[in-house]
């Protein structure tokens, strides 16, 4: 393996860190695209030239090198190291650069269906004012033997927790729940817009200057949806750690817990509950500005440590 262009020797090449893993960056590979008809070739990635395929009128194919120079390994670790006779290919996806404000939309508490914003400093040589993200719109199967070519380089930028987060995103993205159009357009999209606005507002303030709703949304690590006919529950996942990071003190964290120190069930209270109640009111006010949907919406907060398995399997991750 060779050092990828512009990279320091540390962390580059197979020998530096053993076998490649899911989430590793790879330089020297191209991504393939195919389609049929002129319309399919109207919006191609930069650098791709569509070439007509023999034997089928209108069919074309092409390949392009990612402008960033990088793709990311999407296959699971076991598939990457499995014998080529059993698993001859690996999946890779485009790593692209976008302006920092654009990337900020995907660096939030929700999982996006197409983009995964990579943590800062994970990708080498990102242009000033831009950030790197994975774009699953451009995903390709590559012969595994390609990884052994001397022109292919590697970079392991993700920490182990970041790598697990990337793996979860891939899993959630491919298994995301489908909701009715009227629920998505009339409830989930407006709620998502409201929460994102509160997050952006919080990001512009010091932790101690955030209002109740801004502190709550920054404490949420993921949003789930549960639908029971016309009743919809929008559930934000919190933990003692995420609440402390959001600026709550120990007293507020304890007051928000569903159990006391002795293990007895209690009703959450205090600053966290006040923020949840205000967010719930904001959601209802937002939905009241549009045409009635017939859905009754509730906003909850949940610590997964206190959730039974039978309850958890009913939760559907909100992937936007």
pTM above 0.85, yes or no: no
Distance CA 204, CA 198 (A): 10
Those residues whose C-beta lies under 8 Å from the C-beta of residue 166, and which sit 6 or more positions away, are 22, 23, 72, 116, 134, 158
Query: 53 and 59 in contact (C-beta within 8 Å)?
Result: yes
- Listed in order, the ranges of the chain carrying CATH 2.30.30.110 are 14-30+65-174
Question: Could you give phi then psi for residue 233, rounded to 5 degrees?
Answer: -115, 120
Please tell me the distance from the alpha carbon of residue 93 to that of residue 26, in angstroms, as a whole number.
10
pLDDT tens, position by position, 265-307: 778 889 999 999 999 999 999 999 888 888 999 999 989 888 8
**Ordered alpha helix ranges (H), the chain:** 14-17, 77-81, 100-104, 160-174, 181-183, 189-203, 212-219, 240-245, 250-256, 270-288, 309-312
Q: What is the pLDDT of residue 40?
A: 58
CB 149 within 8 A of CB 29: no
Q: Which string of DSSP letters, residue by residue, matches 10-21?
A: TT-SHHHHSS--
Mean pLDDT by 10 residues, the chain (320 residues): 37 56 93 77 71 75 89 92 89 92 70 83 88 92 91 91 88 78 89 89 89 93 88 91 91 84 78 93 91 88 86 77
CB atoms within 10 A of CB 51: 11
Judge whether 311 and 226 are in contact, CB under 8 Å: no
Give the CATH class of 14-30+65-174: mainly beta
Read off the pLDDT of residues 98-110 as tens digits, 9 standing for 90 and up.
888 888 777 764 5
């Amino acid at each position: 393996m060779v050092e990828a262009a512009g990279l320091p020797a540390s962390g580059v090449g197979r020998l530096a860190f053993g076998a490649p893993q899911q989430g590793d960056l790879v330089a020297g590979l191209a991504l393939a695209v195919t389609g049929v008809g002129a319309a399919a070739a109207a919006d191609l990635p930069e650098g791709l030239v569509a070439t007509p395929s023999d034997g089928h009128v209108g069919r074309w194919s092409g390949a392009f090198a990612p402008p960033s120079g990088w793709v990311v390994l999407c296959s699971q670790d076991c598939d990457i190291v499995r014998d080529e006779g059993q698993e001859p290919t690996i999946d890779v996806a485009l790593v692209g650069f976008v302006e920092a404000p654009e990337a900020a939309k995907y660096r939030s508490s929700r999982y996006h269906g197409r983009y995964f914003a990579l943590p800062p400093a994970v990708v080498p040589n990102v242009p000033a004012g831009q950030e790197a993200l994975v774009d699953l719109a451009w995903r390709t199967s590559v012969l595994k033997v390609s990884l052994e070519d001397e022109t292919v380089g590697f970079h392991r930028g993700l920490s182990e927790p970041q790598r697990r987060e990337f793996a979860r995103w891939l899993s959630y993205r491919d298994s995301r729940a489908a909701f009715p159009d009227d629920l998505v357009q009339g409830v989930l999209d407006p709620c998502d817009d409201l929460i994102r606005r509160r997050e952006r507002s919080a990001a512009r303030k010091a932790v101690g200057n955030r209002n109740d709703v801004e502190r709550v949304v920054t404490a949420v690590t993921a949003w789930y949806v549960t639908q029971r006919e016309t009743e919809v529950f929008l559930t934000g996942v919190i933990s003692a750690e995420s609440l402390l990071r959001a600026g709550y003190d120990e007293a507020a964290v304890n007051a928000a817990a569903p159990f006391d120190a002795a293990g007895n069930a209690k009703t959450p209270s205090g600053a966290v509950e006040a923020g949840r109640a205000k967010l719930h009111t904001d959601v209802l006010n937002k939905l009241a500005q549009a045409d009635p949907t017939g859905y009754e919406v509730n906003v909850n907060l949940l610590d997964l440590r206190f959730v039974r398995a039978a309850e958890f399997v009913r939760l559907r991750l909100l992937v936007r």
